[in-house]
Amino acid sequence: MTKPLGRPLRGLQSLIAEVLRGAGITAPAAADRALRTVSRWCANYGGVTVYLPSGKAERLADRDMQIAAELKTAKASEIACRYGLSEARVRQIGRRSAAAVNR
């Protein structure tokens, strides 16, 4: 029998089950697989501090690459409006992108 999960782990279990349901797995099977996954995670990593990156740096890098590409065909003011940034920030991203290409 599996021990009851604490609040953060129940949240992780719910998230995993939601993803599995989205992949077409029935709700009971998804809940069971999610519980087993979280239980295995605890058995393997219990007591160890695990860093989980938020992914923000990757998202910003992807956004900046898109902005740099758009700067070839659009005005900085249009791009700034589209991304909710200042024109100065858009131009800075463009300069950094150009400098990285020239390295």
Asked if pLDDT for residue 40 goes beyond 80, the answer is yes
pLDDT tens track for 4-25: 677 888 999 999 999 999 999 9
Distance set, CA 2 to CA 13, 37, 56, 64 (Å)? 13, 12, 34, 45
**How far is 31 from 14, CA to CA, in rounded Å?**
8
48: DSSP letter: S
39 near 59, Cβ under 8 Å?
A: no
pLDDT at 1: 46
Asked if pLDDT for residue 34 goes beyond 70, the answer is yes
**3 or 51, which is more confident?**
51
Whole-model pTM?
A: 0.59
Q: Which residues of 45-68 are buried (b: 16+ CB within 10 A; e: fewer)?
A: eeeeeeeeeeeeeeeeeeebeebb
CB neighbours (10 Å) of residue 28? 9
